[in-house]
A = this chain, B = another copy of it.
Amino acid sequence: MRRRAFLTRSAPGHIIESVKNRPFGGERKPVKAGNNMELKEAVAKLKETQRVMHAYNHAMGVMYYDIETAAPKNAIEGFSNTMATLSEITYKLSVNEENFALLDYLSEHAGELDEITRREVEEAQKGLRLLRNIPIEEYVEYQRVQSEASAVWHEAKVNNDYAMFEPHLKKLVEFTIRFAKYAAPEKDPYDYWLNEFEEGFTQDVLDKYFARIKEALVPLIHRISEKQQPDDSFIYKFYPVEKQRELSEKLMEMMGIDRACCAIGETEHPFTTGFNKRDLRITTHYYENALTYSMYSVIHEGGHATYEMGNCDELMDSPLSGGASCGMHESQSRFYENIIGRSRAFCGLVLPVIKEIFPEQLEGVDEEKFYRAVNKAEPSLVRTEADELTYSLHVLIRYEIEKKLMHGELDTKDLPAEWNRLYKEYLGVDVPSDKEGCLQDSHWSGGSFGYFPSYSLGSAYGAQILRAMQKELDVEKLVAEGNIPAVTDWLREHIHKYGQIKKPAELIRICCGEDFDPEYYISYLTEKFGRLYGLED
């Protein structure tokens, strides 16, 4: 999981209460907006604001990493207070008339700006579109509702009590629809939110995308579920944490990750965060009785980190550093985790390394057996634990539900029933409790509707990128030889270096020479799992 997106989004969150109070901080020179403003001066002002914003985001990011990895338990109250104070300050730094005037002026002169600055202005405008158009009282109220909903969701999940959460979810849905109308009255609300998370994507595109997913994968998964599953029992032997830490080091080395730029921490849920291309942090979680959990977490998070480390130097402290979108970020982490990390070639490469650390546990396990075990495909209940094949069906279910919620076609009261129905229909599983069902993800409780599709798009991007890469590189051979850095070089040149300069759809065109096309993903999965489960006939 890539955390920065969430963090930035929620930054203005908890603290908006005081928006109408007297502002504080250094004095501010009146800004001359409009025609007589020198363009050069305006750009300098933009860069200066960005520099200061970067410092705040950096500090808050480190605090977040610290609270997850190092802080003692009781640090949480002080942490929340300080995050609230700093978030309030950054909120005021961007949400003010002076900044609006500056951005409007720069937008009017977009043609005279260099590409990076132009995109910075565009992204800043995008980030403020909602906040500029929303009555402040309503926004403050929303923050309150959202914060309450998050707290209630945590409790509801623990207690498996959807009814407790439902009224809060209902309010969030109403706010979400209304806010879309404030920001973009001309748009369908779900289209507005989809575009917020994955620019350029609408229901038109996603309906077709998910229709293909459903059409191709549901029957495939059905056929596979009738086949014999591989023996993966060796994964669940005893693997001491200390030794797994050694494996993490080896994996990062194999990925060519420069440890001078990337640290590894330990948290309940693995994630990646970073403050600039020379300071990335990935985390993992070690389970003594599940070898591959941490292993693939490290590869996945290492993929996120590799993306950001590959940004061009010009983006060092720019708000355009990082990834093009959530979907594009997931495309890279999943590329390393699944397309590389669960490939036959990589399994052959990594097994001897793992065996050196765990010779006893892996006695009698050969490359083929390892490859089959780490690719076991089986319908399940929880998205974050789903395998490569079934993953997108979890997302599809959420997409269909969100769409109905955003159009008033599904009452929040009926959500669990609809959820369970879809899990049965698409994945063939019975959902035993809402805890493992519609309460499993935090996204809705945080007010994020339209975020889920980017998870699936990430996988689909990856498959298309693989095909483009294969035209220039013998990927399988490189991986088998242990030359993953050659793969990374290609990705850096075609994707990573751009950061957020290019939008996701544009990036796919640059990288693949054509528009986004889900067929690559469908055929990738069909071929891989067809072979694995002997469905070639």
**A residues whose Cβ falls under 8 Å from a Cβ of B:** 22-29, 48-49, 51-52, 54-56, 58-60, 62-63, 65-66, 69-75, 77-79, 81-82, 85-86, 89, 92-93, 96, 242, 258-263, 265, 275-276, 278-281, 317
Contact = CB atoms under 8 A, between A and B. Distances in A.
* 3 shortest interchain CB distances as A-B pairs: A25-B25, A23-B26, A25-B26
B29 A28 contact: no
B278 A74 contact: yes
Contact of A51 (B54, B75, B85): B85
A263 to B, nearest CB: 4
Nearest to A92: B26
Contacts of A96: 26
B66 A82 contact: no
A358 to B, nearest CB: 19
A262 to B, nearest CB: 6
Nearest to A79: B279
B70 A82 contact: no
Given A66-B66, A77-B278, A279-B72, A55 B28 contact: no
Contacts of A262: 72
Given A51-B85, A72-B280, A278-B74, A60 B59 contact: yes
A263 B71 contact: yes
Nearest to A24: B26
Contact of A28 (B24, B276, B280): B24
A142 B430 CA distance: 71
Contacts of A23: 26-29
A48 B21 CA distance: 12
5 contacts: A66-B66, A72-B278, A72-B280, A77-B278, A78-B317
Contacts of A58: 63, 78, 82
Contact of A279 (B71, B85, B89): B71
Contact of A62 (B52, B62, B72, B279): B62
A27 B21 CA distance: 11
A201 to B, nearest CB: 32
A532 to B, nearest CB: 37
Q: Chain B CB within 10 Å — which of A58, A96, A259, A261 has the most?
A: A58
Contacts of A25: 24-28, 89, 93
Contacts of A56: 86
Given A52-B89, A58-B63, 16 more contacts: A23-B26, A23-B28, A25-B25, A25-B27, A25-B89, A52-B85, A58-B78, A62-B62, A65-B66, A72-B263, A74-B258, A74-B260, A75-B278, A78-B278, A81-B317, A242-B242
Given A52-B85, A72-B261, A78 B276 contact: yes
Contacts of A75: 261, 263, 275, 278-279
A7 to B, nearest CB: 14
A316 to B, nearest CB: 8
A286 to B, nearest CB: 15
A21 to B, nearest CB: 9
A244 to B, nearest CB: 15
Nearest to A56: B86
A382 to B, nearest CB: 30
A92 to B, nearest CB: 5
Nearest to A77: B278
A245 B77 CA distance: 28
A73 B14 CA distance: 33
A233 B342 CA distance: 53
Given A275-B78, A276-B78, A317-B81, A263 B27 contact: no
A3 to B, nearest CB: 16
A52 B78 contact: no
Given A23-B26, A26-B92, A70 B278 contact: no
Instruction: Count chain B CB atoms within 10 A of each CB in A22, A85, A259, A279 and give the residue with the most.
Output: A279
A22 B44 CA distance: 12
A93 B58 CA distance: 20
A242 B262 CA distance: 24
Nearest to A69: B70
A40 to B, nearest CB: 15
A260 B59 contact: no
Contacts of A263: 70-72, 75
A372 to B, nearest CB: 36
A37 to B, nearest CB: 15
Nearest to A242: B242
Nearest to A263: B72
Given A24-B28, A72-B263, A261-B74, A82 B55 contact: yes
A437 B120 CA distance: 53
Q: Tell which of A48, A49, A78, A242 has the most Cβ of chain B within 10 Å.
A: A78
